[in-house]
Structure 1
Amino acid sequence: MARVPALVCLFLSGALMRAAALRVELSPGAPLFKLGSRQRLACSVADCPAAPVISWTPLGDRPLNADVRTRDRLSVLTFDPVGMEHEGPLLCRVTCGERRKDAKTDVRLYAFPSDPEIRGGRAVRAGEESTLTCEVRDLYPAEALTLEWLRGGRVVGSAAGEVRAAYTFAPRGGPSGENLTCRATLDLRDLPPEERTRQTVARLHVTFAPVVTALSDPGAVMAGSVLVLRCSASGDPPPVLTWTFRPEGGGSAQVKGHGEELALAAQAGEFRCEARNREGRHSRAVRVRLNAPPSNTSMSVSPGREVPEGRRVTFTCRSHGAPPPVLVLSREGEELRRSDSAPSLTVSLSVRPQGPARYRCDATNAFGTEHVTRNVTVEAPPRNTTVTVAPSATVRAGENVTVSCRSAGFPPPEVTLEKAADGTRRRSADGVFRLVNVTAGDSGLYRVNASNRRGYQVRAFRLSVTEPGAEAEATAGVLVPAAVGAAALAAGALLLDYMRRSKKKGSYRLTAPARERRPFGAICA
């Protein structure tokens, strides 16, 4: 009876062994090995009460070519290094007593040893087509590779399943040049992210014609100040900057300097900055205006500053300034004409006979005022000439006689007193003659001549000097024409009675009648 429980236990143990399935596991389950690396593949056994037998078998006609180490329920297959012959299906077979079980896996391989390599000319000319080639060496498997070209961060070309891709483009010029990127992506399951993508940047040396990128514009500046201009340009090779100047109003261009900055005395006109290298040239210009107070103000008078009466006089005012000044012509403070913002002002006037008159030209703008004056004299021959004899034209011997002559004209007439009998002449700056202690010999016809460079006018009178006690004839104050003739004698007779009645008045004002006031050659009568 005691052996019955033992048989029952043995029966139950066998039943349990048959019930527990034999387990075989491979690690890693989906191996992806890098060519040339050292890798391990483990086969582990579970639910085998006895010591299992583990073997490795590659499927296909290829060697295992790996190191196998088995201990208890674990067998490790070591690939050192991983080679192409290791790719493919691999079987781990486990025998546990009467049971046998296989675990199968597929060993996958890859190689991505280096970054893409870009070939082609790195020195290119902007705008001209150029071709670059991107290639990934020793990569495996090629069918899982994608090559992409990136330009400015944007994909511009791609190729799948190929280890080489070309890109043809026309490079752009610019101050920072241009870069192209070749990005290679190996799209394999279970490949670590850091092993998935590699890229290379081609830093192109793009030569291009220069471009003036900035030019300062001062606008309007004050005359006499220092003008500073700045210019910047891009280009490859680096361009040479040259400054030229063309004056306002035209003219040929003049070279003023080189470099990014130009400093010189302010000038009005066009300043141009030109950038030049072996690829070409480019320029930009700026126009400079000057602010300046009026200067070089002038006034011309035509035909001259001394003109005869009746002539028209033309005044021309000119002045420089920026903005152009307002010109005003005035005479003795009275405005005659103005011209707003014009380089010149011309006025033609008919002037009156007068002494010197002051004409003034004022030039004014927002930055100052300047003026110039001219004196203009209108010349006229003597006219309205009068002669006064005091105390009288009939006097006693020993008395003093004063002869005064007044005459209008310009320049002021010069007056001479001439005794007709002997031609004796006296001159007076003020037209006054003093005959002191006269005698009978001083009696006779006298001529008073008022003259200037524009003409003359003559007045005549007769002086009678009587001895003391003698009956004086009233002949004083008779105006006789300078030309002797019958008309002159008749005129003297007509005035004889007047002279007799006037001798006691003490003096005579001798004035030619209005009809005889002629500008040239008039004679007192």
Structure 2
Amino acid sequence: RKIKGEKADELMCVFPFVVKAFEMVIIPAERIVAQIGGRLTLTCNTTGCASPSFSWRAEMDNPLGGEVSNHGTYSTLTMNPVTILNSHLYLCTVICDEKEKKEKHVKVEVYSFPSDPIIEISPSLVAGEPATVTCKIPQVYPSNCLEVLLKKDEHILHEKNFFEDGSTNAETKIVTYVFYPVSEDIGKEITCVASLPIAEMNFEPKERTSSQKLNVAFGPQNTAITASPGSSPREGDSLNLTCVTQSNPPPQIIWSKRLAEGSLQHLIKNNVLSIPHVHFNDSGLYICEVMNLVTNKTENATVDIIIQGAPVITKLSIEPSSTVQEGENVSIQCSAESYPSPKIILRRKSDNADMGPYSARRILLPSVTFQNGGDYECVAENKFGNSRSEITLTVKYGPKNTMITVIPTAALKEGETVTMKCTSSGNPAPVISWNKKKATGESEKISKNATLTIQSLKSQDLGLYECEAYNQFGKEEKAVKLFFQGLLGEPDQMIPLVIAFSSVAAVAVPVVAILIYVSRQAKINGSYSLVKALRLKV
């Protein structure tokens, strides 16, 4: 729709145009704090000027250290990254329509405190040995404002400031401290507190901290052994030996047993040594060896284990052998193990009596005889019971006690039957043979049997018969003469009479002795008793 000229003029009067004055601002204004390595943008903005002209410069014509970018009514100066060279007063100049000029400035202040401290501890912590704590504060500026505090939990170890440091660049500052850790430090924290309290500079954070937990190696120490159910268990019981120690890190534990000859028998690598069913040979000295591979220290603990129980016979022997020759020297030995110590009885079973005192563990038989042969018994006993063992001593010897028995008698009648039996003892059993003496004096072997029988006796059967008993250890001979009754003319025929007389004499002598004794008693006492006389032991 068309508007008439008069109306248009009227409208112009109702809505007059407002023209703004030329102004400028700089953002941020007056002062800004920037961290080295970061990004900072300064903005110069105008109003009231359609085509402003911008320029930037640093005080004393220092390099800008940034990039300028114009965008119509505003201009930016970007510093990326911010460096120490950007610590200046920056001036922004704006000219409007080549007529009007305005300037504003902003002060840029820089600092560097980019990250938390770094804590290093070396070497690995060992109780009682020196260790160095190092705290590194990376890329600090200005360092002459830096303050560092080292703490162990709440206890202050070390303080340091860098007030006199003249560094003009961002540098990593280092604080070290030597201390002696103890086992009680385990779990505590070493803390490094770094502060950069720059006056009139507003930035965060002004304090940075780092902590590190302490792990102190120590030991082994206070090593001990516990025995369950005790150090003197009964035979057959289970036994657990536990090695207890204080050590960080956990130590390597080796169990050993000291043998009789003094050497060590290595058992297991474990803190617990278990023996399900103990025996006497488990008695002895047990050693727990504890090694800390970090501290390179070793500690030992020992326990003496004594197994209680009934005795066990460990040795029953005959020296030089269980089979000997008569005349050799013989030793019989018995050994037994137990706790309490056993009482040992060593005897020959047939004697049913001790061959020596209880404490004796050996029987000596010098020049042994066949009578010493037989079964020997060792009995070991204590309050928990007893045990027995047997061994046989065999004595080899030549023939002994050779005897001839004639049935019916050596004085015979013609036509009778006579049996002669020869017996002898020896080990091994003797071999028996019969010889007959010829008229020439030579002997003729007539039998290899122990029994010789002659039937229908004739005169040519009369004479001297010899029994010979022999083995590898000797020989023994006996003889008997057969004769007809009434024929005693020859001297040899007197042999049976001599034997008979000797037998009578052997009986008569004791009787005569008794009678003499009784006669003397009668003279002393005036009488005698036959009963008492018969009780006498000769």
Aligned counterpart for 2:472 among listed residues 366, 390, 398: 366
Shift in alpha-carbon separation, 1:284–1:9, aligned structure 2, 3 A: farther
1:297-316 paired onto structure 2 within 5 Å: 297-316=402-421
Structure 1 Cα separation of the partners of residues 276 and 423 of structure 2: 64
Residue identity over aligned pairs, in percent, reads 18
Task: Give the count of matched residue pairs.
Answer: 355
1:201-240 paired onto structure 2 within 5 Å: 201-217=302-318, 218-240=321-343
Shift in alpha-carbon separation, 1:57–1:27, aligned structure 2, 3 A: closer
Please name the residue that 1:271 is paired with. 376
- 2:166 is the alignment partner of 1:68: no
Do 1:315 and 1:346's aligned partners in 2 also have CA atoms closer than 8 Å? Answer: yes
Offset, 1:307: 0.7
Offset, 1:244: 0.7
1:167-246 paired onto structure 2 within 5 Å: 170-174=277-281, 176-177=283-284, 179=286, 181=288, 192-194=294-296, 200-217=301-318, 218-246=321-349
Shift in alpha-carbon separation, 1:363–1:33, aligned structure 2, 3 A: closer
Structure 1 Cα separation of the partners of residues 392 and 276 of structure 2: 40
- 2:212 is the alignment partner of 1:106: yes
- 2:139 is the alignment partner of 1:41: no
What secondary structure does 1:351 align onto? coil
- Give me the TM-score of the superposition, normalised by structure 2: 0.53
Do 2:119 and 2:212's aligned partners in 1 also have CA atoms closer than 8 Å? Answer: no
Shift in alpha-carbon separation, 1:169–1:411, aligned structure 2, 3 A: closer
Shift in alpha-carbon separation, 1:104–1:272, aligned structure 2, 3 A: same
Please name the residue that 1:122 is paired with. 231
Please name the residue that 2:432 is paired with. 327
Q: Write the letter of the residue equivalent to 1:336.
A: I
Do 1:173 and 1:207's aligned partners in 2 also have CA atoms closer than 8 Å? Answer: yes
Do 2:413 and 2:457's aligned partners in 1 also have CA atoms closer than 8 Å? Answer: no
Offset, 1:322: 1.3
What secondary structure does 1:174 align onto? helix
Q: Which deviates the most, 268-277 or 100-109?
A: 100-109
Do 2:190 and 2:211's aligned partners in 1 also have CA atoms closer than 8 Å? Answer: yes
Q: Write the letter of the residue equivalent to 2:279.
A: R
Do 1:67 and 1:78's aligned partners in 2 also have CA atoms closer than 8 Å? Answer: no
Shift in alpha-carbon separation, 1:88–1:23, aligned structure 2, 3 A: closer
What secondary structure does 1:51 align onto? helix
TM-superposition CA deviations, 1:43-62 (whole Å, max 9, x none): 24576574361323779xx6
Structure 2 Cα separation of the partners of residues 366 and 85 of structure 1: 87
Q: Write the letter of the residue equivalent to 2:148.
A: S
RMSD of aligned Cα (Å): 4.9
Offset, 1:369: 1.5
Give the gaps of 5 or more residues in structure 1.
159-164, 186-190, 381-409, 413-525
Aligned counterpart for 1:285 among listed residues 390, 399, 415: 390
Q: Which deviates the most, 267-276 or 123-132?
A: 123-132
- 2:447 is the alignment partner of 1:337: yes
Offset, 1:361: 0.4
Q: Which deviates the most, 355-364 or 307-316?
A: 355-364
Do 1:175 and 1:235's aligned partners in 2 also have CA atoms closer than 8 Å? Answer: no
Offset, 1:223: 1.7
Structure 1 Cα separation of the partners of residues 196 and 112 of structure 2: 17
TM-superposition CA deviations, 1:232-289 (whole Å, max 9, x none): 333333334332113xxxx443321253332114221112333333343333322111
Structure 1 Cα separation of the partners of residues 179 and 308 of structure 2: 53
Do 1:132 and 1:166's aligned partners in 2 also have CA atoms closer than 8 Å? Answer: yes
Shift in alpha-carbon separation, 1:166–1:5, aligned structure 2, 3 A: same
Please name the residue that 2:191 is paired with. 90
Do 1:325 and 1:364's aligned partners in 2 also have CA atoms closer than 8 Å? Answer: yes
Structure 1 Cα separation of the partners of residues 296 and 461 of structure 2: 109
